[in-house]
Amino acid sequence: MITNTELEKKGNLFPKKMVSYEQDGDSISFVCENNVHLIITIVRDSMLRFRYATHGIFQDDFSYAIDEDQSHGYSVLEVLEDDEAVWIVTNQIKCRVLRSDLRIGIYDLDDNTILEDEIGFHWEESFEFGGNYVKMSKNTVDGENFYGMGDKPTSFNLKGKRFSNWNTDQYAFSKDTSELYKTIPFYIGLHHAKAYGIFFDNSFKTHFDFCHERRNITSFWADGGEMNYYFIYGPKISEVVTKYTNLTGRPELPPMWALGYHQSKWSYYPEDKVRDLAKSFRDNKFPCDALYLDIDYMEGFRCFTWNKKYFPKPKNMIQDLEEDGFKTIAIIDPGIKIDEEYEIYKDGLDKDYFCRRADGPLMRGKVWPGNCVFPDFTNPEVREWWAELYKTIIGETGIKGIWNDMNEPAVMEVPGKTFPLDVRHNYDGNHCSHRKAHNIYGMQMARATYEGVKKYMFPKRPFTITRASYSGGQRFSSTWTGDNLASWEHLWLANMQIQRLGISGFSYAGTDIGGFADQPSGELFARWIQLGVFHPFCRVHSSGDHGEQEPWYFGEEILDITRKFVELRYQLLPYLYTAFYQYCEENIPIIKPLVYYAQEDIQTHYRADEFIFGDSILVCPIQEPNAHGRRMYFPQGRWYNFWNDAIIEGGKELWVDAPLDSMPIFVKEGAMIPKYPVQQYVDEKEIDEISLDIYYKNGLDNAMLYEDSHDGYDYKMGIFNIRSFKFTGKVQEAFIQQHNTDAYNSNLKRIKIIFHGLPFEIKSAKVNNEETDLQNLQYNKEESSIVLPENFADLHIVG
């Protein structure tokens, strides 16, 4: 006789009493009565890793997020114990592990609480899929705020919000959409002027609750895998961001042309239209460095093919465009059309490189070409194969960059808009279902693309852009925020998302300027350009179904306004390129939210419209129609109005005029901003003179300028310059000192120093400690400028 029984659901399970612990080098292992194991690894003095196993067995220690080249180590490690807890002490923090239930508390060296478990680790067994739902809850203190989480389209401060991470193709997404194109399960907590970070490195669908369900509780959990997270102590937000970015990796320096203005649309075809587009940019003297080809350049949307009707001689077209200063970027999606005559499909099928369902059939889904199969980018062999496919389109045809789209992965006309969960993946030898691989699929496609583009662009640098990614994806690609909407709300969201991505390790990011879906007004387009020129990635992209979105389409007024701001971006390229160097070498984000810049000022904790571009320029976009100005907050210090040099004392909110041809831009006193002359594209001119705008300060300040060949890998061999500038301002005199590493032989011959806010008229000057006639320095009294040889060591001016 067989008795029907129901499988009892046990609900939440918890660690029981600690029975033992053991130290092994930089790791301390704990065991509980019910065989729950915890390993705490000291990654560095301010970073701890926590891994939990519910039955004493840990999964293979593998992560796509962690940069294998990261450095770690610590200077102090003590393990102490008392009747209630075991204590782990470094030279920056103390970690308490309770004997009763493994709950964690983390404190500074003065015993101030940084973060404590509420329930702490717990889990629920999954009888449907196997494994566990792993959960963590933390106490939140009064006044605590939260930031980060990648591209979430919501208010910058996450307190009171709840989100899930499951990469999703969200066409024309709306504010507070939970699941978007990227999964970056990293957040920053801030309270009592101390910041910490949590990185939950779990690629299953994850969830975060920032005091939404319960007022003083923050929690995060996953639908499978391990409870595996990193605690990162600042105490400054800037330190948390730098350490997280170091942990998950940084990109290599992009070519300077990739920082110029880019124009894209779905789609520019045939060839005549692309050539006309290029001619219009040059005729209108509107700077542009890159033009994009969307899916219509392909033959029947088959990847790595050309439609010979639309583009009969693509190599010739690409060469002609390059001669006129344009790089051509092409889109590549993951879906490979099922077509027995299509070589890439046949080759991938023969090599068994496409994803399969649990019982063996190929994973088939509909995307732009129709029925498709999809490479398993989690297989190293498949990534190598995919990289080699770029030999023709990059190495022979001359495409200069690749744009990966639809790689969430997106599938049309199916529930959930993606693969079924039973699809199997290699996961670099850690075989798994799509439940685990979904969120890293796009990142691994971008990785394979990056390797191919890098190989066939050599000796030039690669340029890639991806829509979907996971933490650490910044190592392989730039990104954009996906299919947004031509609306004022989406202009506001663009500002939030790029700031959020910046402090989430993914600085090289931008939006579809003007909106992808629907048609912007000229006013909205102009305001979006004004914001977009201050984003690290600057591209107009739109759906052709909704009208034209080239700058001249909106009439002369809007053309003149947008040209003015794009020209400003090109003038600021040496400043931006230096900021990129600091990002790629020192993990410093290019866009800095005010709370990052001045976390000790509580007014910045909920301010988000304003941000710092680089290290010295304060930007505040106009984000509503018919506005002729706005109120904005100024951090502590003195700020120069970029347009008229009027000085604002910070620490307060003020009204700023901003008619349509302007926007609020301010420069920190003491700043030294390098500028190029306006160019129609990067390296159009052989620049032998740059300007250095110095904003007077009664005191000391420093700045730097990074120089190299703008492309190629000589900089990896130390062939670059870092010019360090030191400014000392006094009531009737000022000093400027320059130190140049002088490892790169640039074309620069002169530096034009332009003083802003100088409280005296220059009467005399010494260059390199020698009296020099002002006429010989091309002194211009009206603009308060002096021209010096590029290798000057010091300048002393007296009023």
d(CA 388, CA 452): 6
| Catalytic annotation present for 408 | yes
Among 101, 333, 451, 483, the active-site one is: 483
Q: Beta 327-332 vs 401-404: how paired, if at all? A: parallel
Q: Which long-range contacts (CB under 8 A, 24 or more apart) does 34-41 make?
A: 36/102, 36/121, 38/97, 38/102, 38/121, 40/88, 40/95, 40/97
Encode 570-621 in three state secondary structure: HHCHHHHHHHHHHHHHHCCCCEEEHHHHCCCCHHHHCCCCCEEECCCEEECC
The number of angstroms, rounded, from the C-alpha of 226 to the middle of its chain's C-alpha atoms is 26
Among 201, 333, 408, 610, the active-site one is: 408
| Cβ-contact 640, 667 below 8 angstroms | yes
Distances from the Cα of 283 to the Cα of 22, 86, 279, 287, 571, angstroms? 72, 72, 6, 10, 20
d(CA 609, CA 632): 8
| Catalytic annotation present for 684 | no
Cis peptide before 314 (omega within 30 of 0): no
* Helix intervals (H) in 294-402: 314-323, 343-350, 380-388, 390
Q: Residue 17: helix, strand or coil by DSSP?
A: coil
Tokens 């492309």 label which residue? 711
Radius of gyration, alpha carbons of the chain = 28
Number of neighbours of residue 193 by Cβ within 10 angstroms: 12
Among 271, 405, 451, 550, the active-site one is: 405
Contacts of 657 (CB under 8 A, 6+ apart): 628, 629
Q: Please give the single-letter amino acid code of residue 324.
A: D
Cis peptide before 759 (omega within 30 of 0): no
Copy the structure tokens of residue 441. 């699929």
In terms of Cβ atoms closer than 10 Å to its own Cβ (0-12, 13-18, 19+), residue 155 is middle
Q: Could you list the active site residues?
A: 405, 408, 483
